[in-house]
Amino acid sequence: MITYQFISTLADAKPNSHLIARSASSLLPESALVDEMRQQNTVADTRFGCAPFARITLLPDALWHDALTEGLLAALRPLLAVPASADIVLDVTDIGEVVLAQVLRFLFNQAHRLSDLKLKKTDDAVRLTCITALCLPEQRAKLETIFRQQQAIALGMVAARRLADIPSDRCTPQFMIEEAQKLCATYPALRCEVLNEKDIVEQGLGLLHAVGKGAACPPRLLAVHYNGVSDGPVRCYVGKGITFDTGGLWLKEGAGMYTMKYDMCGAANVLGLMLTVAELKLPVRIMGVLALAENAIGPEAMQPGTVATACNGTTVEINNTDAEGRLVLADAIAWASQRHPQARYIIDMATLTGAVVKALGYELSGLMTQDEPLREALTGAGKRSGDEVWSLPLDARLKKQTDSAIADLCNTPTNNAAISASAAWLLHHFCPPTIPWAHLDISGTALWRENGRSVASGRPIPLLVEHLVGDLSRVTAAPYPA
């Protein structure tokens, strides 16, 4: 884990660290080099003549308050691609709170690199081990809270990212179960409950079974229980965990399959969220549900036209086997609502539709809910955390998109319209109206894309922690919102 500390003068900084500061910072040393760097209107960076530092980077003041376009992160990414030092001194004397959260998550997330998977020969590079915050004495108490929370958020993000980045021939449903059990074992407040393929059939999760039965690696359902208090309402999170998505008999083209090992990011992020909550020791009860399956081709693979029955008795015509994520989510949402019929809310997350990327791009997660207080709370949490959502419509005008002549519902609209919202309309049938429910389509945000490559991002864990912390400030015994 990357550690942190606070100082109020640069004289207390570790030797040979990397100083990153505002160009106008009043705490910078007086020198000809610093004066010359201050004159530049862009990034000023040097590794020469900057003793006792290994590197000095001065960044324009405007970037330190640019939460919308993440300008500070964009400037830092190339600088830290090959770190000059294991220690960073970060000037936080005048920085926007959202920007600080974004930057801290980025820095703490340096604990994971693809090279850590040991699948590629690489040279040992310098790794960030400590973040030193340069602050004013009166800022320290508030900063302590921010740093601790963002460090815990990053811990969950790193766990989720590591799982998601593992190739799918290794990261099977059973592998995810075993890794989750290892990670949860370090926290006494976390307990894992596993349903194997036999349990899934016996408990009537026919949609999850239909998706997973064609694979050599059978499906699993994992419920992670966290009891930070002995009683009170349970908050539920559900994640899509398709460890690889071929599209099934509705086969994807090769280019569309390349990143499909990441189709389990929703489930990985639910696990990461549970680890963050346990690390923060939040006084709350939570159940995280991971619906795990591989959508494969085989003699037992589901066929277009198959009708399967969910654990709440709803039948679904599977007219497109490549719309499998909503099937496993639907069963998991219904299962969670049966386990906790008085749940405070259920929030699901999934890399569900490419359509949401066309609508919102890669910066915003799609939010779909019919519960206005929950919509407002999640939208506000997104703005406060810098992990934002944008609402898409969800009402009865979408009903025709899920009509089926043979079953209660069909899993995709035959007119290929409103794909993201139609998927959410299908899902809403599986959460009782007495439980507030929201769906997050994270197809655009679950991955970080750079130079034509994709890696897991760990989003929307920051959003969900911010929302959860805010929700805990309410009277938790009352219906949402208290």
Which positions are catalytic? 252, 326
Q: What is the dihedral of CA 467, 468, 473, 478, to 10 degrees?
A: 110
Is the separation of the CB atoms in 241 and 293 below 8 Å? yes
Going by C-alpha positions, the residue among 304, 297, 458 that lies closest to residue 387 is 458
* Separation between Cα atoms, residue 244 and residue 172, nearest integer Å: 8
Q: What does the alpha-carbon distance between residue 297 and residue 221 come to, in Å, rounded to a whole number?
A: 21
Q: Tell me the C-alpha distance between 328 and 208, whole Å.
A: 5
pTM for this prediction: 0.96
CA distance 457 to 454: 9
CA distance 292 to 211: 10
Per-residue pLDDT at 457: 97
Q: What does the DSSP 8-state code read for residue 399?
A: G
What is the full per-residue pLDDT of the chain (482 aa) written as tens digits?
A: 899 999 999 999 999 999 999 999 989 988 999 999 998 888 999 999 999 999 999 999 999 999 999 999 999 999 988 889 999 999 999 999 999 999 999 999 999 999 899 998 887 789 999 999 999 999 999 999 999 999 999 999 999 999 999 999 999 999 999 999 999 999 999 999 999 999 999 999 999 999 999 999 999 999 999 999 999 999 999 999 999 999 999 999 988 898 999 999 999 999 999 999 999 999 999 999 999 999 999 999 999 999 999 999 999 999 999 999 999 999 999 999 999 999 999 999 999 999 999 999 999 999 999 999 999 999 999 999 999 999 999 999 999 999 999 999 999 998 889 999 999 999 999 999 999 999 999 999 999 987 778 999 999 999 999 999 999 987 444 555 54
Query: Helix axis angle, 265-280 relative to 140-165, nearest 10°?
Result: 150
How far is Cα 249 from Cα 33, in angstroms, rounded to an integer?
64
